[in-house]
Amino acid sequence: MKVGTGMRWYRRGSGSRRIALFAIALLFPGLVSYRAGIAGAGGAPTDAGIVAQATDERTPTMKIRMTINGNTSVARLDDTPAAADFASLLPLTVTLSDYHSIEKISDLPKRLSHDGAPSGYEPEVGDVAYYAPWGNLAIFYRDFGYARGLVRLGTIESGLDALTQSGPLATAIERIEP
């Protein structure tokens, strides 16, 4: 059986063309969805969606005051379910204990919600956090690495030095801004 002249383009180098067509068919939907995911109004690329996604978890909502053995620290809580759950416990009096010369910890009267929170994170100096496996408050005054089960609640804006005192620290925590 003779192949017509209209099919010659397909026969010549057909293996290479088939591979190229197959690759385009596989990649095209991914490229379109990626472009749509980062496109702003008018289809212009923007990274606003990516930035918003990264910052949504840490939008400050409320200031709190921690009176630690007579010294004052001020912190801002993030706009997260865990931080809102923590804020619902305030005012609160706790005793902060030193943990490995890195953080001060205290039990909380109830476990906090950590729905939608990442599986863990790497805290920075001044972070106020919740350690879900133990159900305790953790306030970092030194660097620490990634910890699974750690949920960020907010960050200390002033008075971090109050946490470097040794021994148990009687601490009153209250809202100072809604």
Rounded to a whole number, what is the largest CA-CA distance in the chain? 98
Residue 15 reports pLDDT greater than 80: no
What are 97-120's pLDDT values in tens digits? 999 999 999 999 999 998 889 999
In a domain, 52, yes or no: no
101 and 64 in one domain?
yes
pLDDT of residue 61: 74
pTM for this entry: 0.66
30 and 68 in one domain?
no
Contacts with 159 (C-beta within 8 Å, 6 or more apart), sequence order: 66, 68, 71, 72, 73, 74
Q: What mean pLDDT do residues 65-92 have? A: 95
What are 21-75's pLDDT values in tens digits? 444 444 444 443 333 343 344 444 433 333 333 334 445 579 999 999 999 999 9
> What share of the chain has pLDDT > 90, as a percent?
58
| Structural domain span for residue 30 | 5-46
Higher pLDDT, residue 174 or 16: 174
160 and 87 in one domain?
yes
Distance (Å, whole) CA 14 – CA 8: 9
pLDDT of residue 115: 86
Closest CA to 96 of 107, 87, 111, 85: 107
Cα–Cα–Cα angle for 126, 173, 144, nearest 5°?
20
Distance (Å, whole) CA 72 – CA 163: 10
pLDDT of residue 178: 63
68 and 42 in one domain?
no
Residue 6 reports pLDDT greater than 90: no
117 and 40 in one domain?
no
What are 116-171's pLDDT values in tens digits? 899 999 999 999 999 999 999 999 999 999 999 999 999 999 999 999 899 999 99
Distance (Å, whole) CA 33 – CA 96: 49
Residue 11 reports pLDDT greater than 50: no
CATH of the domain at 98: 2.40.100.20
Q: HEC states along the chain?
A: CCCCHHHHHHHCCHHHHHHHHHHHHHHHHHHHHHHHHHECHHHCECCHHHHHHHHHHHCEEEEEEEEECCEEEEEEEECCHHHHHHHCCCCEEEEEEEECCCEEEEECCCCCCCCCCCCEECCCCCEEEEECCCCEEEEECCCCCCEECEEEEEEEEECHHHHHCCCCEEEEEEECCC
77 and 154 in one domain?
yes
85 and 19 in one domain?
no
74 and 145 in one domain?
yes
pLDDT of residue 42: 42
